[in-house]
Chains A and B, each alone.
Chain A
Amino acid sequence: MHGSSLRLAVDLVPEGILLLGALLLGSLALGRAARPRPVQLLTIVVLLAAGGVQLLFLVGMPDAGYRAYSDGLVVDRYTTFLVPVMCVLALLAVATSGPLLPRIATHVAEYHALVLLAVLGGSLLVAAREMAALWVALELLSVCLALLVAMVKTDRRGSEAAVKQLVIGAAASAILLYGFALLYGAGGSTVLVDVASNVRHGSPAAALGMGLVVCALLTKLGAVPFHQWLPDTLRGAPAPVAALTLGVGATAVAGSLARVVVTTFVELAASWTALVALVAAVSLLYGNLAALTQVSVRRLIGLLAVGQSGFLLLGLLGSAPSQKGVAALIFALATGGVTVAGMFAVLAAIDGAVGDDLDSLRGLGRRSPLAAAMLGLGVVSLVGVPPLIGFFAKLFLLESALLAGYAWLVLLALVTSVIGAVAAARLLRLMFVDLPDEGEAPVPSAGGAVRIAIGFCALVTVLLGAAAQPLFNLASGGAGSIH
């Protein structure tokens, strides 16, 4: 299976397309300020092409996938599920960037180039099975996201959030390197599969290394107690970038975490499951409880997302093939990403007219029904109320954790979902029951692209439940290929 250089080039065509697109946009940035519309279109074409080509790989793919770069990168069904998902999520973010572009008029090309590079980092990350490749991909993703957060130079909150993200991210990277160093010492290889076979019987160094790697990736995911950067980033970043962080960022990191854990650490499950279970429990509790008292819309969404990341970890606990936890995990990433993208598309559309505190959403149901509907559907789905798509995602995760024997965690997850539902109901009440304040300016209607994106996300959130099975089959096939 060790590919020739030609084979390698073919396997990485989607990544190549992303890189070429980024370079092209980067070169545009050298000239005078680019016009937004063609740049946006080019980005969308690149994303569609990359995602489409990746899907073509599914035809005739061997079970073990194609391996490039001495087994360091694997293009299997898992990668092939997650990369198109990330492309779609990035596409949604790009489509909703319209209202943002005038504020970064001189950096339009750079902005889109960074988005493409972030997706590139994400797609390499989910394919990586080797320490160096994984670290480089993760850094590419994190640095691009941090730069995007700080894109609006005049926004102090954005700069502050970016610095916070960079500092915490750097600490996480350092921890990751420590972990890798210990694993390398114990296992004698940088390829994770080899490490797994060498440390089969475990050693304190390997166990510690493993713990550090998991902690580092959990930090990048934003799980409690490593979450401090996430709500601030969501609040400080422009809305499309926040969507990107929760969409592409979380998908890539959680996808990578699942791959690393399943390929490397399955033999030593006992040493990391306790950690993951604990983090999941704390994330569930903190995210949903703290959401109760939030006054900022974006922090509210951020905290619900933190709770959601606790849910995602349930999938890791039920990661044995028969429990389908990893399939549930990537299913939840894909569907949750679209829902969150829709919510941030709304926030992007109403950014000028409506502030960030919850009170400014008062009566939004009358001022802008489409926006309010998507925002309402989004929180309700995130909380997991049936029959919206978020319910199915949570159901599959709960099933896998239950089959793995984590009944207490399942109960806790249900209880925290109830708490989350109350937080969601507060938002619903503000938007649909309360009357708008006197003299509130009407919300200007969003541009066509934004509206299409919002409509798409709303449809997916409401209707995909009926077609949950085919999508889950895809996810299941993907998850099957990493075991």
Chain B
Amino acid sequence: MSALHLLLAAAGAPGATGTGTGAGTGTSTAGDFPTVLLSALIWTTAATMLILVVLPDRTDEQRGRLRLVALAGAAIPLLLATFGLNYQIGQDFIGGTTSFEEQRPWLTALPLVSNYHLGVDGISLPLLLLSTLLFVIAMIASWRVVAQLRLYLILMLLMETGVNGVLCSMDYLVLLLFWGMQVLPAFLLVAMGGGAQRMRAAWRQLGFASVGMALLAATALLLAVKVNASPPTFDFVRDNAVSLSRGIGSLGFWLSFVGFALTLPVVPVHTWARDALAEATTPVAVLLRGTVMTLGAYGLMRVTLTAFPDASHRFGLVMVVVAVITALWGAVAALGQDDLRRLLAYGAVGQMGMVLLAIASASAIALNGAVLMLVADGLAGALLLLLAGAVQDRTRTRSIARMGGLAWQMPKLAALWVLGGLAVIGLPFLACFVAELMIFTGSFPVHRAATVIVMAGTLITTGYVLWTMQRVFFGPSREAFARLRDATTLELAYLLPLAIAVVILGLLPGRVLPVINNGVQSVVARFTGG
């Protein structure tokens, strides 16, 4: 790690002059730290994209080179994010909750001021690690893609730039810029490959995403104009809660809540996720589930709760009701699916209901659990989706009824599926256990009935996960599947890291929880203080 530190210091030296100390609460944790870390993390993928544009892609050899370059471009942000989180674990956030902060004046002469202001805290760092990891995994899982390979890789890298950028933004306008950067690539990636209904899924997703985008733009403009800062600014760093009137607060809450809930997604606007997760190719589905949906939850915490605490408190019940419906609907609908991919999609929606419950309760413990849940569920869900893709490739069907006994032919895949399934249902010592526990203990004092109902929903989740496991992998061996092969080396190359991550996160959540807690505390302070 020290070598990396030196490397960063060297890279950061010329850029370090422009670093600013934040105007408000957040300042850099250490003055001597290279503060171009986040810019490097975000823009590496964009730079890689530009390299891909000029590389040829005619022969197999050239395509192999393209893949390697893209993978390297995606791996660097992962290293940087790992390093950032690791550094943070060793720190106590002296002097503020935000770290690696970068602030440069950008649009200053306008009626509304916007700064190129980046920074991460305990909420965004773990999610950043998740997103960078998933992009590397998706890149490896796409190794066999040949058709329009260059465009495919470029879109993935562009999407990664957008997702990472959103997680690092400390300015509404910058956030909006990065948010927009991932919308169209996601649309094209869904449309480019996958099931027969993929165009429908892509259009539906784009429709929801564009509406969400417009609502976010409206939220950002509202905040900038209506908060009495001088000059009016898009920057996060100011006390929004003080100067918003009741009506404006409510309006802002609804704009941002609906915008992010569309992305999360919640029932009844979950149809895009159901279709897109089922129809897209598995790597793309992994990205949608693990990064795009995560951004919805992140936005709810970062914008809705933080900027409109009063209104979030007032309309907390609405969020709770939506959360309960989403959690139950997702679990029950998953129970009824015959399509393996749709089952996983509904499962993902159900899990997001749990996260929303935690957000609605806005208690520190529950929010800690929610962040942990996003990471854990992102990893376990990705594992299951990729396994489902592998099974689908072999059996040439997505229908669960036509599978069965696959563990005879593919014991490795079956073992991994068991691991992922057990993680999702919250078995102790696997990723989601601590997260679920924290969500429920945190929400129960605030919304007792809702918490109990959602807990009942997890029983249904347990039911469908185990039942699916039984129907797909166990039972008598089938003649039709006799020639199917177990996991290839390539598949293990992207499945095993995920499995290991699921186990590690389950064993050592205590390592990251202090970091998460530090970020959560600032949200909660805004909420209870306002």
A→B interface (CB under 8 Å): 322-324, 365-366, 380, 385-387, 391, 395-396, 398-400, 402-403, 410-411, 414-415, 417-418, 421-422, 425, 428-429, 432-433, 465, 468-469, 472-473, 476
B333 in the interface (beta carbon within 8 A): no
A415-B214, A468-B107, A469-B106 known; A386 vs B179 contact (CB < 8 Å)? yes
B507 in the interface (beta carbon within 8 A): no
Contact in complex: A365, B206 (CB < 8 Å): no
Cβ–Cβ < 8 Å partners of A380 in chain B: 184
Q: Name the residue on B nearest A392 (C-beta).
A: B107
Contact in complex: A385, B109 (CB < 8 Å): no
B102 to chain A: closest CB distance in Å?
A: 15
Per-residue CB contact flags for chain B residues 166-181 toward chain A (1 = under 8 Å, else 0) read 0000000100111111
Contact in complex: A414, B110 (CB < 8 Å): no
B→A interface (CB under 8 Å): 106-112, 148, 151, 173, 176-181, 183-184, 187-188, 191-192, 199, 202-203, 206-207, 210-211, 213-214, 217-218, 221, 224-225
The CA-CA distance from A282 to B224 in the complex, in Å, is: 27
A73 to chain B: closest CB distance in Å?
A: 28
Contact in complex: B184, A469 (CB < 8 Å): no
Cβ–Cβ < 8 Å partners of B108 in chain A: 469
Contact in complex: B151, A432 (CB < 8 Å): yes
Select which of A366, A417, A433, A473 is within 8 A of B214 by beta carbon: A417
- 14 sampled A-B residue pairs with Cβ under 8 A: A322-B111, A386-B178, A387-B177, A387-B178, A391-B180, A395-B173, A402-B221, A414-B218, A418-B214, A421-B206, A429-B191, A429-B199, A433-B191, A469-B107
Q: Name the residue on B nearest A373 (C-beta).
A: B53
Give 5 nearest A-B pairs by CB, closest first.
A386-B180, A386-B177, A387-B177, A414-B214, A418-B210
Cβ–Cβ < 8 Å partners of B217 in chain A: 398, 414
Select which of A387, A400, A465 is within 8 A of B111 by beta carbon: A400
The CA-CA distance from A160 to B211 in the complex, in Å, is: 39
The CA-CA distance from A366 to B57 in the complex, in Å, is: 12
B193 to chain A: closest CB distance in Å?
A: 9
The CA-CA distance from A476 to B108 in the complex, in Å, is: 12
The CA-CA distance from A390 to B370 in the complex, in Å, is: 37
Q: Is the interface of B mostly helix, strand, loop or mixed?
A: helix
User: 10 new A-B pairs (CB below 8 Å) besides A402-B221, A433-B188?
Assistant: A386-B179, A395-B173, A396-B110, A399-B111, A403-B225, A410-B218, A411-B218, A414-B217, A469-B106, A469-B109
Q: Name the residue on A nearest B161 (C-beta).
A: A387
Contact in complex: A421, B210 (CB < 8 Å): yes
The CA-CA distance from A281 to B177 in the complex, in Å, is: 25
B426 to chain A: closest CB distance in Å?
A: 38
Cβ–Cβ < 8 Å partners of A410 in chain B: 218, 221
The CA-CA distance from A411 to B222 in the complex, in Å, is: 11
Contact in complex: A399, B184 (CB < 8 Å): no
Contact in complex: A425, B187 (CB < 8 Å): yes
Contact in complex: B148, A366 (CB < 8 Å): yes
A366-B148, A402-B225, A422-B206 known; A472 vs B111 contact (CB < 8 Å)? no
A386-B181, A387-B180, A410-B221 known; A472 vs B214 contact (CB < 8 Å)? no
Cβ–Cβ < 8 Å partners of B202 in chain A: 429
